[in-house]
Amino acid sequence: MSTSDDVLFDSVDLGDETLSNRVGLAPMTRTSATGDGRATAEMARYYAKFARGGFSFLVTEGIYPDEAYSQGYDDQPGIANDEHVEAWRRVTDAVHDEDAPIFAQLMHAGALSQGNRYTDERLAPSAIRPTGEQLEMYGGSGEFPEPRAATTDDIEDVIENFATAAERAVDANFDGVEVHGANGYLLDQFLTTYTNERDDEYGGNVENRIRLTAEVLEAVQAATPDEFVVGVRISQSKVNDPDYRWPGGEDDAEVIFERLTDAGADYLHVTEEDVTTPAFESGPTLTELADRYGDVPVIANGALEDPDAARATVEEGADLITLAKGALANPDWPRRVAEGRPLEKFDFQRILQPDAGIDESEVPEPADS
């Protein structure tokens, strides 16, 4: 199949960005920053490698936005001060030298924080200990501590800190930001029924539970230039609870995707362990629901390493797809697929053990054509 006949290699407009193909790098927590949250030269080489391998856009690992409650892991990068901004410029410059845009994923860990140099407290919608246990590959062990329920002032601070972090992302020469509303972190904790027992405007029905994510999006859009891309990542499953599903089914999906679109999202990045399966017991996938009820480009992520699965997901409504494991195994995945070369299989033990830090030897340079 030539690239002219392959839907994966169509050009796509995303905000003011024109992407050369439909394949991007998914955000992946790698815990390879300095102890005080600065991106490193190793990280610059890591991200540039994927741009050089043909990925048309990159989304960073989750970056904590403030010097308060948001940090989730030791050695996680931040964008909470001027030193963080300066360090990220080295990364964005390296990626831009390879002619690809890069978006900063802004992440508040909330109750799932298992490493924060600024505080020992955890912030959450309600004082409910998270299910499951901390992630050993990110340096944690045992059950999560019980968090503190956020006050109205805390919520206002969260919104303001996301917006300020987005302004710093502009200063760091990012091309956009992605608000992390997925995978069990703070914004998703507000959306999730069993972690949100609030009785104010941020709790109760799904309209209230999605409110904080929408207000963060609105604040980030207001704080950044018109040409700056502002997306949002959304999921049902979580790092500590992969089986959770929205209790209202498709009705919840309609409210969530419509509200996020109305809040100004430039794209909806839906992610599940396998995004090709039905969102609920049967029926449409999360990609199809985002396409049905949203009014912006949809990015799909999860179990799309096989090119045929990626193509089928585009055919069912995704404008773009992102790869994580497939990218780690094949930093030149788009080039390999375009040229009909075989793909390497992902080796979890080699790449993500004993921890999730970046090891230069784990990902070979993209092969020459």
Catalytic (active-site) positions: 185
* 197, 175 Cβ separation under 8 angstroms: no
Which backbone phi and psi does 211 adopt, to 5 degrees? -60, -45
Buried b (16+ CB within 10 A) or exposed e, 186-203: bbbbbbbeebbebeeebb
Cβ count near 226 (within 10 Å): 7
Residues whose CB is less than 8 angstroms from the CB of residue 336 and which lie 6 or more positions away in sequence, other chains included: 330, 342, 343, 367
* 147, 129 Cβ separation under 8 angstroms: yes
Cβ count near 25 (within 10 Å): 28
Distance CA 307, CA 29 (A): 24
Which three-class secondary structure string do you get for 34-78?
Answer: CCCCCCCHHHHHHHHHHHHCCCCEEEEEEEECCCCCCCCCCCCCE
75: left (phi over 0), alpha (psi -120 to 50) or beta: left
- CB neighbour class for 118 (10 Å; exposed up to 12, middle 13-18, buried from 19): middle
Please give the DSSP secondary-structure letter assigned to residue 101: -
Q: What are 25's strand-pairing partners?
A: 58, 323
Which backbone phi and psi does 285 adopt, to 5 degrees? -80, 170
Please give the DSSP secondary-structure letter assigned to residue 190: H
Residues whose CB is less than 8 angstroms from the CB of residue 157 and which lie 6 or more positions away in sequence, other chains included: 66, 68
